[in-house]
Amino acid sequence: MRVRLVVGLLMVGCAGLAHAGVTPYASLDGGAVWLSDTYEVRTDTGWIFEGAVGMGIDGAFPPIRVELASGYQKSNLAQNGNGVSGGKMGIGNVMANLYLDIMDFDSGYVREGSHFTPFVPYVFAGIGAAYSHAEWDGETAEDTKVAGNLGAGCGWYITSHLMMDVKYKYFFSRDMEIENQYEVDLTSHQILAGLRYMF
């Protein structure tokens, strides 16, 4: 259901691609991640870093951005009930994202002009792949699955080309199995902050 929702949002957003002008950008974010616990496995607060390249579609209605992002997160595993006794969980991902910038629609994605606003809230959705790697009690396990994300945030223009970003992301994928008996829920809540530079 969540994957179908993401695909639907991406298809709706593609209507704005008829406009030719683009504003390329690159971004780097970091923050905290909270994996969902299961009966067997509990996780502590982890960290995440993410980099992305993308482009804003100038004059698009609604104002949209398309982006290719890659991130890595890591959390500690702790025993929950009769599950694994502890370890580490790392998840890398590559995502294709679509952003809708909720701003003054008269200015589109233009950064300067009479309608310029320093704060730009946005929502986004994406789909891609996640690679998970777990270590516990001298054992290892790994898996690759389809993944998706949904979220919202706000950007603040420091200059006409540099923006500070703060966002919330809900990341989801199918559970990872450990020793064919324990499951690690790869669903997570993430809070990230970083910088975005528009070329």
Summarize pLDDT for 72-113 with one digit per residue, the tens. Answer: 999 987 765 555 567 888 999 999 999 999 864 444 444 444
CB 72 within 8 Å of CB 94:
no
Residue 60 confidence (pLDDT) above 70: yes
- Domain 2-198 matching CATH 2.40.160.20: the answer reads yes
The pTM score is 0.80
**Cα–Cα dist 18/66, whole Å:** 13
**pLDDT at residue 52 in the model:** 98
Predicted confidence band of residue 176 (pLDDT cuts 50, 70, 90): confident
Closest CA to 185 of 151, 137, 134, 127: 134
Count of beta carbons in the 10 Å neighbourhood of residue 95 = 24
Residue 122 confidence (pLDDT) above 70: yes
**Cα–Cα dist 52/151, whole Å:** 15
How is the chain split into domains, by residue range?
2-198
Residue 35 confidence (pLDDT) above 70: yes
Residue 21 confidence (pLDDT) above 60: yes
Q: Region 7-20: what's the mean pLDDT?
A: 49
Residue 125 confidence (pLDDT) above 60: yes
Q: Region 32-47: what's the mean pLDDT?
A: 83
**pLDDT at residue 171 in the model:** 97
Residue 88 half-sphere exposure toward CB, CA atoms < 13 A: 7
- Report the chain's mean pLDDT, rounded to a whole number: 82
Q: Region 14-36: what's the mean pLDDT?
A: 80
**pLDDT at residue 53 in the model:** 98
Between vectors from CA 16 to CA 14 and to CA 21, what angle results, nearest 5°?
A: 120
SS (H, E, C) 16-71: HHHCCCEEEEEEEEEEEEEECCCCCEEECCEEEEEEEEEEEECCCCCCEEEEEEEE
**pLDDT at residue 109 in the model:** 46
Residue 196 confidence (pLDDT) above 80: yes
**pLDDT at residue 57 in the model:** 86
Q: Region 41-47: what's the mean pLDDT?
A: 85
Closest CA to 198 of 165, 175, 149, 152: 165
